[in-house]
Chain A
Amino acid sequence: MLALGHARTGCNTTPMKPHQLLHPTPKGLYCPPGDFFIDPVRPVDRAVITHGHADHARAGHGAVLATPETLAIMAVRYGEDFTERRQALEIGEVVSVNGVTVWLVPAGHVLGSAQVVVEYQGTRIVTTGDYKRRRDPTCAAFEPVSCDIFISEATFGLPVFHHPDTASEVRKLLSSVHQFPDRTHLGGAYALGKAQRVICHLREEGYDKPIFIHGAMKKLCELYEEFGVALGPLEAATIEKGRGEKNRFAGEIVICPPSAIQSTWARRFPDPLPVFASGWMRVRQRAKQRGVELPLIMSDHADWDELTTTVEEVDPTELWVTHGREDALCRWAELQGRRAKALHLVGYEEDAE
């Protein structure tokens, strides 16, 4: 656990009320003394961004403070002019924004993802952004930071969500490739994070053949490689002119954005077998609705056990719960005798992960 407790002990003024330091607004979480937003959903003057997913990282802010990885991801997604000013903050580096102390701590969600710690007049609030606790070969692991207020996401905040061991899910894919060698396994995975994680886990299981990727994945995969995440041989999932080419993909694994599975793009593959790597695949009806034949339960968000053990470990004075199933996590806190409330932030996509 990060030991920065001295910042609190040296302070003699009355701690300010937490909601004065950080509170929800229609544009996102706002910090009045620092005059900045965390993951604003609309353009603002000054934004601190936890990670590069589109619902957290939007283009058009005056200034963006984030990890170098997140800034690079935003530049790839939105173009170099996604903001007027960039401020890269390395993990562990501390800055003062209008007197508010701010630093970033790994969140374990995707490459560059960070929790935002803000501290002012003896009050410390940690905003997790999105996070998970299990090992992810593509990013730094989550680090718990003790605090007064812990603002936790709750995307999978229901006790039915126990994400199984990631390696065993990936082995399901490999055994299906073995079982259906004439079909192309079309793996739907979000282009940022999930795709690279699936690829890394396939490599860890000894799969060393080229993995074919959809065009939308290319730049982000290259960026991951630049930041030192080795993905092994990748090839574009394109068909050259001429007949018979299609069968080139029989028995191969193709990774694409989930929406591409049902698009006309998918017709280039022989008898495609739709795979989807997502925490939502835990619920049968969800998988059936999407026409998935091989659901892989694999999430970049904390499952129920991870959420609850993290809260216990961080042990905040008060828990604030945001985007997801706030009710259940608040109920759990109540049963544990913990203070908790739902923040009801708007603008975050519950299905995006």
Chain B
Amino acid sequence: MNRFAALLDRLIYTPSRNGKVRLLTDYFAEVPDPDRGWAVAAITRDIEIRSVKLAVIRSVVASRVDEVLFDLSRDYVGDTAEAAALIWPAEHGSNRVPSLSEVVGELQSVSRSEAPALIERLFDALSAEGRWALIKLITGGLRIGVASRLVKVALAEYGGKEVQEIEELWHGLKPPCQDLFAWLEDKAEKPVNAMKAPFRPVMLSHPVDEVDKAKIDLSNMAIEWKWDGIRVQLVRDGDEVRLYSRTGDDISNAFPDVTDGFPVNAAIDGELLVYDPAVTDGFAVRPFNDLQKRLNRKTVSAKMLKENPAFVRAYDILWADDEDLRTLTLDERRKRLEQVVGNSLPRVDLSERIDGTDWETLAEHRSSPPLDAIEGVMLKSKDSAYVPGRPKGPWWKWKREPRLVDAVLMYAQRGHGKRSSFYSDYTFGCWRGDELVPVGKAYSGYTDQELKKIDKFVRDNTTDRFGPVRAVRADREFGLVFEVAFEGLQKSPRHKSGIAMRFPRINRLRWDKPAGEADELITLEAMLPK
């Protein structure tokens, strides 16, 4: 358990992705079954613990610690779980530190009445870090900055496998996942995902660069709109129905309207979108902002279902009626898709194919699509099989040009990890009268050389400091102008400017441009979706 706690501690403090993967793979190599499997489960999903709640921990701590001293400590530390873990005056109990799997086993089998005694015993046996990890296990939600995707990547790297293979198995895995580790270490066959309605790793596309155009035979390409939603896979096999994100996370619980509205046995690949319930003739797609309201939720309210109903715009089919269709060509799969989806499913429709056999037509589609919810065009080779991963050649995406605005640097914050000595996160603003109003924040898009120059500018022109943040001189006469690229805008009452940018990044440094000539806020407001 202390080893698991040490892993969590290092993961919390390590900002880089590669660093986290290294910490995880080393842990998998060092820690035997079944502990490492429980660690995977604890990091990526909540382990269900029924009879121990936070209140038990509070009462156990109160039994050994003066209330005044605890309150002083909690105020200082700022977190109840951490204060409880640190303040615990351990008495000598067993000399043996329990393993993670022993702890999980005991937590899952203990009765309500025995819970306080168990917590007291575990607290005495564990280090402060171990106690903290124990409390986090009990309360759920480790919040250590590690997404399940990262754990899958680490597992794949540990076993020298493709991450798609892990994704495919993921939902069939039962902790402590010994069969998975046996396969990763080449000691056993790949486990069979016996779960119904499994996730099938998705096929991804490449962006079209100018140089690629010559290689793309447009006569062999099916053209579709690129919808601005999220990529999903919707699968039904009898009673079992699931909606997966593109990395295989199960998001069914948040979208009962979609899963209920898909009554056929098939696995389809498509875009999750939200439509306007007032329009009854087909699905009137609404912008991404409306979809965002429904993302990252564990459950969904009736009001939300009514106001922001979701559906899937299907563009491919991977499986139907016990038949794997992935080896068929795109055109063959399209026929099957049309048969399965038709035009009468409650929450699934077809992504239409559009014209375009020359780049001029495509360019026009791309730059002026009929809806805000379209962000470009997709080009898919008609004779391609469905290949997981990102094979170069069969599928292309040609996104519309980002939107641009000239904004003035207002605040700079120090970065993390490699960039901890650089002011690398920038808040920039546009003019409202003579006042600059912050409109966004970006920490990418510049080169290392440019970063050095901006950093120097920040240090030379600091007007105020707030911890790791510096205010930078920015007025009509003086300031650094960024050309900021972004994908879209939405209204946001939480921001002073009333708008929020999607994927803002620094496109160009405009050392040449006087700050007073940066864009006005009204220019941005005009770009808001109607």
In chain B, residues 418-442, which have Cβ atoms closer than 8 Å to a Cβ of chain A?
418, 420-422
In chain B, residues 326-359, which have Cβ atoms closer than 8 Å to a Cβ of chain A?
none
Q: Which residues of A contact B371 (CB under 8 A)?
A: none
Q: Which residues of B contact A160 (CB under 8 A)?
A: 73, 76-77, 83, 86-87
Residue in A261, A271, A274, A283 whose beta carbon sits within 8 Å of that of B82 in the complex: A283
In angstroms, Cα B380 to Cα A299, docked, is 62
Residue in B22, B26, B73, B78 whose beta carbon sits within 8 Å of that of A159 in the complex: B73
Sample 15 A-B pairs with CB under 8 A, ordered by A number: A159-B73, A160-B77, A160-B83, A262-B414, A263-B421, A264-B421, A266-B420, A272-B418, A272-B420, A282-B86, A291-B414, A293-B14, A331-B68, A331-B69, A332-B69
Q: Chain A residue with minimal CB distance to B14?
A: A293
Looking at the assembled complex, report how far the CB atom of A141 sits from the nearest CB atom of chain B, in whole angstroms: 25
Looking at the assembled complex, report how far the CB atom of A186 sits from the nearest CB atom of chain B, in whole angstroms: 9
The reply to whether the CB of A90 lies closer than 8 angstroms to some CB of chain B is no
The reply to whether the CB of A223 lies closer than 8 angstroms to some CB of chain B is no
**Known contacts A160-B87, A180-B22, A266-B420; is A327 also within 8 Å of B12 by CB?**
no
B22, B76, B467 pick with most chain A CB within 10 angstroms: B76
Complex contact B13–A295 (CB within 8 A) = yes
Interface mask (A259-283 → B, CB under 8 Å = 1, otherwise 0)? 0011111110001101000000011
Complex contact A158–B19 (CB within 8 A) = no
Q: Which residues of B contact A261 (CB under 8 A)?
A: 420-421
Q: Which residues of B contact A332 (CB under 8 A)?
A: 66, 69
Q: Chain B residue with minimal CB distance to A260?
A: B421
Closest 9 CB pairs of A and B: A160-B86, A266-B421, A160-B73, A291-B420, A160-B87, A328-B72, A293-B13, A159-B87, A158-B73
The reply to whether the CB of A285 lies closer than 8 angstroms to some CB of chain B is yes
Q: Which residues of B contact A263 (CB under 8 A)?
A: 421
The reply to whether the CB of B295 lies closer than 8 angstroms to some CB of chain A is no
The reply to whether the CB of A107 lies closer than 8 angstroms to some CB of chain B is no
Interface mask (A313-335 → B, CB under 8 Å = 1, otherwise 0)? 00000000000010110011001
Complex contact B467–A158 (CB within 8 A) = no
The reply to whether the CB of B45 lies closer than 8 angstroms to some CB of chain A is no
Classify chain B: how many residues form its interface, as a range: 35 or more
Interface mask (B1-36 → A, CB under 8 Å = 1, otherwise 0)? 000000000101111000100110010000000000
The reply to whether the CB of A20 lies closer than 8 angstroms to some CB of chain B is no
The reply to whether the CB of A98 lies closer than 8 angstroms to some CB of chain B is no
Complex contact B77–A327 (CB within 8 A) = no
In angstroms, Cα B82 to Cα A283, docked, is 8
In chain B, residues 373-417, which have Cβ atoms closer than 8 Å to a Cβ of chain A?
414, 416-417
Q: Which residues of B contact A328 (CB under 8 A)?
A: 69, 72-73
Looking at the assembled complex, report how far the CB atom of A277 sits from the nearest CB atom of chain B, in whole angstroms: 14
Q: Chain A residue with minimal CB distance to B66?
A: A335
In angstroms, Cα B77 to Cα A282, docked, is 9
The reply to whether the CB of B281 lies closer than 8 angstroms to some CB of chain A is no
Complex contact A287–B86 (CB within 8 A) = no
Residue in B13, B89, B416, B421 whose beta carbon sits within 8 Å of that of A267 in the complex: B421
In angstroms, Cα B73 to Cα A159, docked, is 7
Q: Which residues of B contact A294 (CB under 8 A)?
A: 10, 13
Looking at the assembled complex, report how far the CB atom of B425 sits from the nearest CB atom of chain A, in whole angstroms: 12
Q: Which residues of A contact B421 (CB under 8 A)?
A: 261-267, 272
Q: Chain A residue with minimal CB distance to B72?
A: A328
The reply to whether the CB of A292 lies closer than 8 angstroms to some CB of chain B is yes
Q: Which residues of A contact B65 (CB under 8 A)?
A: 159
Q: Which residues of B contact A272 (CB under 8 A)?
A: 418, 420-421
How would you classify the secondary structure of chain B's contact residues: helix, strand, loop or mixed?
helix
In angstroms, Cα B331 to Cα A183, docked, is 51
In angstroms, Cα B209 to Cα A320, docked, is 73
In angstroms, Cα B69 to Cα A154, docked, is 14
Complex contact B72–A331 (CB within 8 A) = yes
Q: Chain B residue with minimal CB distance to A282?
A: B86
Q: Chain A residue with minimal CB distance to B23?
A: A179
Looking at the assembled complex, report how far the CB atom of B23 sits from the nearest CB atom of chain A, in whole angstroms: 8
Besides A325-B76, A328-B72, A332-B69, 12 more A-B contacts (Cβ < 8 Å) are A158-B69, A158-B72, A158-B76, A160-B76, A161-B86, A162-B86, A262-B414, A272-B420, A284-B12, A289-B467, A291-B420, A328-B69
The reply to whether the CB of B79 lies closer than 8 angstroms to some CB of chain A is yes
The reply to whether the CB of A19 lies closer than 8 angstroms to some CB of chain B is no
User: Could you list which residues of chain B lie within 8 angstroms of chain A, going by C-beta atoms?
Assistant: 10, 12-15, 19, 22-23, 26, 65-66, 68-69, 72-73, 76-79, 82-83, 86-87, 89, 127-128, 414, 416-418, 420-422, 467-468
Q: Which residues of A contact B19 (CB under 8 A)?
A: 180, 293
Q: Chain B residue with minimal CB distance to A161?
A: B86
Q: Which residues of B contact A295 (CB under 8 A)?
A: 13
Complex contact A179–B26 (CB within 8 A) = yes
Q: Which residues of A contact B417 (CB under 8 A)?
A: 291, 293
The reply to whether the CB of A339 lies closer than 8 angstroms to some CB of chain B is no
The reply to whether the CB of A218 lies closer than 8 angstroms to some CB of chain B is no
The reply to whether the CB of A288 lies closer than 8 angstroms to some CB of chain B is yes
**Known contacts A291-B416, A295-B13; is A159 also within 8 Å of B69 by CB?**
yes
Q: Chain A residue with minimal CB distance to B78?
A: A285
Complex contact B15–A293 (CB within 8 A) = yes
In angstroms, Cα B85 to Cα A160, docked, is 8
Q: Which residues of A contact B422 (CB under 8 A)?
A: 267
In angstroms, Cα B79 to Cα A295, docked, is 18
Complex contact A284–B82 (CB within 8 A) = yes
In angstroms, Cα B26 to Cα A274, docked, is 20
**Known contacts A158-B76, A335-B66; is A262 also within 8 Å of B420 by CB?**
yes
Looking at the assembled complex, report how far the CB atom of A169 sits from the nearest CB atom of chain B, in whole angstroms: 12
Complex contact A284–B79 (CB within 8 A) = yes
A158, A272, A331 pick with most chain B CB within 10 angstroms: A158
In chain A, residues 140-159, which have Cβ atoms closer than 8 Å to a Cβ of chain B?
158-159
Q: Which residues of A contact B77 (CB under 8 A)?
A: 160, 283, 285
Interface mask (A237-270 → B, CB under 8 Å = 1, otherwise 0)? 0000000000000000000000001111111000
In angstroms, Cα B468 to Cα A250, docked, is 27
In angstroms, Cα B78 to Cα A285, docked, is 8
In angstroms, Cα B414 to Cα A140, docked, is 40
In angstroms, Cα B77 to Cα A293, docked, is 19
Q: Which residues of A contact B128 (CB under 8 A)?
A: 162, 164, 282
Complex contact A179–B420 (CB within 8 A) = no
Looking at the assembled complex, report how far the CB atom of A45 sits from the nearest CB atom of chain B, in whole angstroms: 38
In chain A, residues 96-134, which have Cβ atoms closer than 8 Å to a Cβ of chain B?
none
Looking at the assembled complex, report how far the CB atom of A21 sits from the nearest CB atom of chain B, in whole angstroms: 31
In chain A, residues 165-185, which have Cβ atoms closer than 8 Å to a Cβ of chain B?
179-180
